Amino acid sequence: MKITFPHLGDAYIAVRLLCNEMNVDCIVPPLNTMETLERGSRYSPEEICLPFKLMAGNLMEGIENGADTVVMVSSNGPCRLGEYGELLKSVLDKNGYHADWILLDTVQAIGIRELLKRAGLVWGGKKRSKLKLLGALKGVYKVIHSLERMEKEIHFRCGYEIERGRLKAILYKCKKDICHSDSINDALKIIENYSDKVKEIPLDREKNPVKVVLTGEIFSLIEPFGNQYLEDKLMDMGVSFSKRITIGWWIDTTFVQPLKRARMMSKKNGFLNYCIGGYAKDTVEEVIEAKKNHYDGVIQLLPLGCMPEIVVKSIMPDMAEELDIKILTVVFDEMNGEAGYITRIEAFIDMLQRRKQHVLYGY
Amino acid sequence: MYYMGIDVGSVSTNVVLLDGCLEVIEEIYLQSKGSPIKSICEGLEKLKGKYDSKQISGVGTTGSGRNIAAAVTGADIIKNEITTHSIAASYMDAEVQTILEIGGQDSKVILLRNGVISDFAMNTVCAAGTGSFLDRQAERLGIAIGELGNMALKSKVPVRIAGRCAVFAETDIIHKQQLGYEKEDLIAGLCYALVRNYLSNLCKGKEIKDKVFFQGGVAANQGIKKAFEDILDKEIIVPEHFKVMGAIGAAILSKEALENERKKTMFKGFNILKGKISTDSFECQDCPNHCEVIRIYSNNTMIGCFSDRCGKYQISDAKSKI
């Protein structure tokens, strides 16, 4: 049995390590490119969101490369992503891409027993040591979190860098090295090593860079192709930014501490009091947080046709006025040209920069 | 002491020259015709006879072709068109609070408060109501584009035209034409449709405050200006150099940047025109990203490279220092 899975940012790094550790054959589909998107859109419904098309493309490539089982996680049912698994299966089946499907849904949706049963299928009926599995899961969890910790540190330090581009280069080199490592321990060592290097990069602490928060739809935030490599661009521009929604955050809120999230979701915030699906309420709350933490602006990302985020988009003007914070909404679509969106991002950052100077010099 | 601003847009390439007091002394407006490098050279060619390379103390580029223009000329700053348009407008008149800008293929609204941008919007998915569309309609009706505005002013009863989508607007114009409406009324109707489309696409939820500047190539069209005035019920000011405001902003910014950092210009001089400038593009196969890399050469030495995500084709890079 060979498994494959759709891409979601750096998740493939962790999945590959986990499969290696547990001796499961896994086929990592090629990273997202325009070709993936073109292949995926050929068979997808025209008006489905962008992540679906990319995922379909990934799975087609995975199956072509010899995989016979698809493993997918799904969560937060009220948004379309929750039904992706079933729809993808139907779409791929109809077009001659046959595979077995293992859908890992949340405990709330299918119960713990069913989840464990499905997860067990990944081993293909063979007995594996539970202790080893627990160890591997813990290790991978650690890899994800330490990589993200380093990434966050880099994103923040980027604005203060004296020689622009060095931090970004470290990040990419680190990810590349992890891809070539064989075990979880090696990967952890690599991350530790590079984290030390990050601290050595000289910073100019006198600088006062523009600080923004990235928020919005989860796939667009995590998958760099889904946001046309926005993070790279911000790093190149010397912007300090932070983003809360990452794979580690998702694992924590979905599997590790689902109760904490439920409690958070029941809190009212004055702008959007109820969960309307997807991560809409989170987006709203992040704008409020951004204001509290003195960020200069917020960039909201969403793929065309994302219902929850569109609702948030319509709340944004009110939030911008009431909280006095600048918000830019960027919508990504397969038909979009790059030029217009770069102009928008640049203009937004320029605007924040000039406003900052304006306040500083007081004229 | 002259500062040069170059705005390479989708339809036109504009070059301006400002003197030390930031007064416009040269203003060149050229059609890009799909080859920006050629039109940049053409613009510089016109300045070459009158000015010496040493007199140029700063260069700024803007517009969608700003990176190419910067690589060719050696610009000191590269800025997006939203920033440059607002800089130029607030320099011309410090009281400007709203800028309506309609160019060849994109339209923007910029809100300024106390001379600083406070909000902006740019057309995303639709180019209905921009210069290219007007160009096409003028051609179809057999009128020179310069005449369009004046004809619209003659209309007494503007025809209502569906302006949501450029293609359907054309369909609607053809239909109304076949019904026998006057050309003047059709054109005036078109102007109103475009303005309505612009306002509902870009200005929803935005407060349009006086003074309102209308700039970009389409501002030449009196019909559109009148339609804005009627619908917004405000006075619309078309600044003197409305066509080249982006380039003026870029020139101002180049002066500002060079003075702040106390640097000398990187302008390569008018001599670049002597060399042959060529480009090549290829799809890099080194990683799954498959970037379509474009390189610009001047006399067979590379002067610029774009669209490589990892940056390995760039001339100088920081990654070798790790």
Pick A166's closest partner by Cβ from B64, B310, B322. Answer: B322
What is the distance between the alpha carbons of residues B87 and B252, in angstroms, rounded to a whole number?
A: 8
Q: Are A43 and A95 in contact (CB under 8 A)?
A: yes
Mean pLDDT over B114-129 rounds to 79
Domain end (from A206, A226, A260): A206
A108 and A170 in one domain? no
Q: Does residue A169 fall inside a structural domain?
A: yes
Residues of A in contact with B83 (CB under 8 A): 346-347, 350-351, 354
What is the distance between the alpha carbons of residues A67 and A70, in angstroms, rounded to a whole number?
A: 8
pLDDT tens by residue, A157-176: 999 999 888 999 999 999 99
User: What are the tokens at A187?
Assistant: 């990967």
Task: Give the phi and the psi of residue A155 in degrees, each rounded to 5.
Answer: -60, -40
Domain end (from A184, A206, A228): A206
pLDDT tens by residue, B81-90: 999 999 999 9
What is the distance between the alpha carbons of residues B223 and A220, in angstroms, rounded to a whole number?
A: 42
What is the distance between the alpha carbons of residues B278 and B296, in angstroms, rounded to a whole number?
A: 6
pLDDT tens by residue, A84-105: 888 889 999 999 999 999 888 7
Query: How would you classify the pairing of strands A2-4 and A69-73?
Result: parallel
Indicate which CATH number applies to the domain containing A111.
Answer: 3.40.50
Check pLDDT > 80 for residue A16: yes
Distance from CA of B155 to the nearest CA of A (A): 35
End-to-end CA distance of chain A: 68
Is the CB of B315 inside 8 Å of chain A's CB atoms? no
Pick B309's closest partner by Cβ from A35, A163, A232. Answer: A232
Residue among A213, A169, A235, A240 at smallest CA distance from A316: A213
CB atoms B288 and A31 under 8 Å? yes
Pick B322's closest partner by Cβ from A169, A336, A350. Answer: A169
Domain end (from A159, A179, A206): A206
Pick B83's closest partner by Cβ from A229, A331, A347. Answer: A347
Is the CB of B34 inside 8 Å of chain A's CB atoms? no
Q: Which residue of B has its CA nearest to A171?
A: B319
Q: Is the dihedral of CA B180, B184, B185, B187 positive or negative?
A: positive
Mean pLDDT over B252-262 rounds to 89
Helix (H, G, I), strand (E, B) or coil at B72: helix
Q: What is the DSSP letter of B158?
A: P
Q: Does residue A133 fall inside a structural domain?
A: no
Is the CB of B173 inside 8 Å of chain A's CB atoms? no
CB atoms B322 and A173 under 8 Å? yes
DSSP string computed for A254-315: III-HHHHHHHHHS--SS--S--STTHHHHHHHHHHHHHTT-SEEEEEEETT-HHHHHHHHH
B161 and B73 in one domain? no
B287 and B160 in one domain? no
Q: Are A194 and A238 in contact (CB under 8 A)?
A: no
Q: Does residue A136 fall inside a structural domain?
A: no
CB atoms B80 and A346 under 8 Å? yes
Of A347-361, B13-27, B40-54, the range with the lowest mean pLDDT is A347-361
B151 and B211 in one domain? yes
Residues of A in contact with B114 (CB under 8 A): 358
State the pLDDT at residue B318: 38
Interacting residues of B222 by C-beta distance below 8 A, sequence separation 6+: B149, B150, B152, B153
Is the CB of A356 inside 8 Å of chain B's CB atoms? no
What is the distance between the alpha carbons of residues A55 and A4, in angstroms, rounded to a whole number?
A: 11
User: For chain A, how many structural domains are there in total?
Assistant: 3
How would you label A308-347 residue by residue, b for 16+ Cβ within 10 Å and e otherwise? bbebbbebbeebbeebebbbbbbbbeeebeebbbbbbbbb
A359 and A219 in one domain? yes
A124 and A99 in one domain? yes
Is the CB of B283 inside 8 Å of chain A's CB atoms? no
Distance from CA of A265 to the nearest CA of B (A): 29
Q: Which residue of B has its CA nearest to A327?
A: B119
A215 and A202 in one domain? no
CB atoms A343 and B288 under 8 Å? no
Indicate which CATH number applies to the domain containing B10.
Answer: 3.30.420.40
State the pLDDT at residue A182: 84
Q: Which residue of A has its CA nearest to B67?
A: A339
Mean pLDDT over B59-75 rounds to 90
Mean pLDDT over A315-333 rounds to 90
Which residue intervals of chain B are DSSP H helices?
36-48, 66-73, 81-92, 131-141, 148-154, 166-179, 183-202, 222-232, 245-261
- How confident is residue A328, by pLDDT bands cut at 50, 70 and 90? very high
A320 and A218 in one domain? yes
Residue among A99, A95, A134 at smallest CA distance from A29: A99
Amino acid at A303: P
A347 and A246 in one domain? yes
B195 and B288 in one domain? no
B138 and B14 in one domain? no
B12 and B35 in one domain? yes
Pick A166's closest partner by Cβ from B115, B117, B318. Answer: B318
Pick A354's closest partner by Cβ from B116, B120, B288. Answer: B116
Q: Does residue A134 fall inside a structural domain?
A: no
Query: ipTM of this complex > 0.90?
Result: no
pLDDT tens by residue, A52-72: 899 999 999 999 999 999 998
Q: Torsion angle of alpha carbons A319, A320, A322, A323, nearest 10°? A: 100
Residues of B in contact with A197 (CB under 8 A): 322
A353 and A230 in one domain? yes
Interface test with chain A among B116, B203, B206, B293, by most A beta carbons within 10 Å: B116
Is the CB of B106 inside 8 Å of chain A's CB atoms? yes
Is the CB of B243 inside 8 Å of chain A's CB atoms? no
User: For chain B, how many structural domains are there in total?
Assistant: 3
A363 and A269 in one domain? yes
A174 and A250 in one domain? no
Residue A188: C-alpha distances to residues A28, A179, A192, A247, B241 (Å): 20, 12, 6, 17, 60
Domain that holds residue A254: 210-363
Q: Which residue of A has its CA nearest to B116?
A: A355
Mean pLDDT over B223-235 rounds to 93
State how far Cα A263 lies from the chain centre: 23
Is the CB of B310 inside 8 Å of chain A's CB atoms? yes
A126 compared with B75, residue with greater pLDDT: B75
Distance from CA of B311 to the nearest CA of A (A): 10
Pick A33's closest partner by Cβ from B64, B120, B289. Answer: B289
Amino acid at B289: N
Residues of B in contact with A166 (CB under 8 A): 318-319, 321-322
pLDDT tens by residue, B158-215: 999 887 777 888 888 889 989 999 889 999 998 998 898 888 888 887 889 988 999 9
B261 and B147 in one domain? no
A109 and A25 in one domain? yes
Pick B318's closest partner by Cβ from A34, A169, A354. Answer: A169
Indicate which CATH number applies to the domain containing A290.
Answer: 3.40.50.11900
Amino acid at B113: R
- How confident is residue B319, by pLDDT bands cut at 50, 70 and 90? very low
CB atoms A340 and B122 under 8 Å? yes
Pick B309's closest partner by Cβ from A173, A229, A335. Answer: A229
Domain that holds residue B231: 94-238
Distance from CA of B83 to the nearest CA of A (A): 6
Is the CB of A198 inside 8 Å of chain B's CB atoms? no
User: What are the tokens at A21?
Assistant: 């550790």
Of A11-20, A258-267, B38-47, B91-100, the range with the lowest mean pLDDT is A258-267
State the pLDDT at residue A275: 84
B233 and B98 in one domain? yes
Interface test with chain A among B107, B289, B308, B321, by most A beta carbons within 10 Å: B289
Is the CB of B321 inside 8 Å of chain A's CB atoms? yes
CB atoms A317 and B116 under 8 Å? no
Cβ contacts below 8 Å, chain A against chain B, sum to 78
Of B10-24, B56-70, B97-111, B304-318, the range with the lowest mean pLDDT is B304-318
Residues of B in contact with A351 (CB under 8 A): 82-83, 116-118, 120
A118 and A150 in one domain? no
Is the CB of A263 inside 8 Å of chain B's CB atoms? no
State how far Cα A250 lies from the chain centre: 9
A351 and A216 in one domain? yes
Pick B205's closest partner by Cβ from A34, A317, A326. Answer: A317
State the pLDDT at residue B322: 38
State the pLDDT at residue A363: 40
Burial (0-12, 13-18, 19+ Cβ within 10 Å), B274:
exposed
CB atoms A351 and B114 under 8 Å? no
State the pLDDT at residue B320: 39
